[in-house]
Amino acid sequence: MPRSTVARLAHSAVLAVVLALGACSPATTLSPNVSPETTLFVQFDPNDGVPHEVVYDVHLYWLGLDSDGFVEAYEYRLLDPARPADSAWVRTADTDRQIAVPTPTGVSTPRFEVRAIDDQGALDPTPASQQFSFTNEAPTVRITNALRSIDSSYAAVTVNWNGVDPDGAASRLQYRLWLDGNEANARVLQGNGFSLPSADFLQGGAYRSGPRRLYLQAIDAGGRASTIDSMSWYVRRPVPDTLRQRGRVLLIDDVPGAGVAQSVTDSLWVNALARNLAPGSFELLRLEFTNPFRSAIDLERVFSLYDAVFWYRGFATITTPSTVIQQYQSGIEAYLDAGGTFLFEGFASVVGEGAAGCFSPAFLTDYLDCDSLLVHPTGQGTGGAADWGISVGKVLNSSIYNAVLRQTQNYAGLRAFAVRDTNHVAVWARLGTLSQPHTVDLPVGVRAPQPAGGQAILISTALRGASGGNQGDAARFLDALIAQLPPPRPQRGSARRGRP
């Protein structure tokens, strides 16, 4: 038999077997994929005459079933007649969602749709849907620390507010804040407070004195806006010289009262600056009447408008710490970190053993280049072990300023410093000078250079009472101190970069 014939017979036999087996087995045709079904757990007839208004901030639930597989995801959307172009589906694996429905006018009537997607990508062809009527009451906002038209500040201010959403979460409120007529560039904020950067106060690239108005508006998660709250106050340019965007010195008068002694103290400091600085290059801030510092950021930003800041409170009756410094010390530290120079003069300067102070011990170690305060045996004097006193007629010396400070009053509340480098001692109390026993010379004033180029200076006594015997001792001390300040920093049109 020919080979081709054998091959044909073998092929026919195999085919017969296959057909026979097929005739004995059940059908194996695959069934088509069945689309999933979706259920929305809010269903009602919007035309049944019963009120069905829902607050705009709504939590919706749904579920999908797939008879021949499993539901892999969902898509949902809101079809709002007021926003016909916004019809895109949003994909999610969740079976619920908190949705803030846009209701900027107070009422919205969108249709909510949700559809399941199965494991083969099939969509529910008949999404679950419901027509809603959402309502939204307008939020309210009130500035809680509003400045008045008689108040003033420099080019920095911290504003706080209280926002209320009657039918939503106040934590989800946003706020629009702007100065004067600059609503088009309003800041959009969250929280309950903000510190305006100094650059926001520039007008034509310069700081100018004049009234300013701040506006604030709350907007809830549904887009409805509150009425606008505002405040108006006077903003001062850094110094009288209009060509300067940074002043040479800000002089802070922290000696309250208007008596002869207070006037003498003020004159000592003001006259020293007038003798040594260009006209219009320094500013006097009387803290008793105007306190522009509402936060550490405010303080830092105001300070950054000046090359140096002198803060004096050396007066016999001022023996308690400054609460402003205690609260906002971090602002002073940030100013020094950025290259500024800061001088503090007065009693109760640093917290010590048994003694309150304006500055924390960390300021002493981090900025004054000291290890600690030096203390005397307890029971000596009226204060704690860190409180030192000095009597009339005693003399303090300054090597770096080539001056002597002869005391005309009895004082308490001085500090003695364990300096790391005696070249940084600004004022010495030689052996036997202070009221409490000490067997070595004690530093009672420090001038520490800062890494960024500025200086931190602390004089723990009162310069005003240091002109006995040689009239002008304190004045000569200040003249030398001002002469040895770091050079002016470059002028620029705005202060340091602001923080919210």
For residue 286 the two structure tokens come to 């009387």
- Average pLDDT estimate for 11-20: 40
Read off the pLDDT band of 51 (50, 70, 90).
low
For residue 387 the two structure tokens come to 């409180």
* Whole-number percent of the chain with pLDDT over 70: 88
For residue 422 the two structure tokens come to 């005696």
Is the pLDDT score of 398 beyond 90?
yes
Three-state secondary structure call for residue 20: helix
- Please give the Cα distance from 256 to 291 (Å, whole number): 12
- Average pLDDT estimate for 203-221: 95
The position carrying tokens 């290259």 is 339
Read off the pLDDT band of 37 (50, 70, 90).
very high
Read off the pLDDT band of 468 (50, 70, 90).
low
- Average pLDDT estimate for 8-30: 45
For residue 94 the two structure tokens come to 């969740």
Domains and CATH numbers, the chain: 37-135 (2.60.40.10), 140-235 (2.60.40.10), 247-483 (3.40.50.880)
**Mean pLDDT of all residues belonging to the chain:** 88
- Average pLDDT estimate for 333-362: 96
- What's this model's pTM, rounded to 2 decimal places? 0.81
Read off the pLDDT band of 29 (50, 70, 90).
low
Residue 50 is predicted with a pLDDT of: 58
Query: Tens digits of per-residue pLDDT, 268-284?
Result: 999 999 999 999 999 99
Query: Tens digits of per-residue pLDDT, 138-174?
Result: 999 999 999 999 999 999 999 999 999 999 999 999 9
- Please give the Cα distance from 190 to 168 (Å, whole number): 15
Give the total residue count for the chain: 500
Read off the pLDDT band of 378 (50, 70, 90).
low
Phi, psi of 454 (to 5 degrees): -90, -170
Residues 6+ apart with CB under 8 A from 485: 307, 308, 341, 455
Query: Tens digits of per-residue pLDDT, 180-199?
Result: 989 999 999 999 999 999 99
- Please give the Cα distance from 275 to 255 (Å, whole number): 21
Residue 496 is predicted with a pLDDT of: 36
Residue 12 is predicted with a pLDDT of: 46
Read off the pLDDT band of 499 (50, 70, 90).
very low
Report the candidate in 391, 372, 371 with the shortest Cα–Cα distance to residue 381.
391
- Please give the Cα distance from 77 to 87 (Å, whole number): 7
- Average pLDDT estimate for 203-211: 93
Three-state secondary structure call for residue 340: coil
CA neighbours closer than 13 Å in the CB half-sphere of residue 406: 8
Residue 241 is predicted with a pLDDT of: 84
Residue 243 is predicted with a pLDDT of: 82
Read off the pLDDT band of 308 (50, 70, 90).
very high
- Average pLDDT estimate for 322-348: 97
Is the pLDDT score of 82 beyond 90?
no
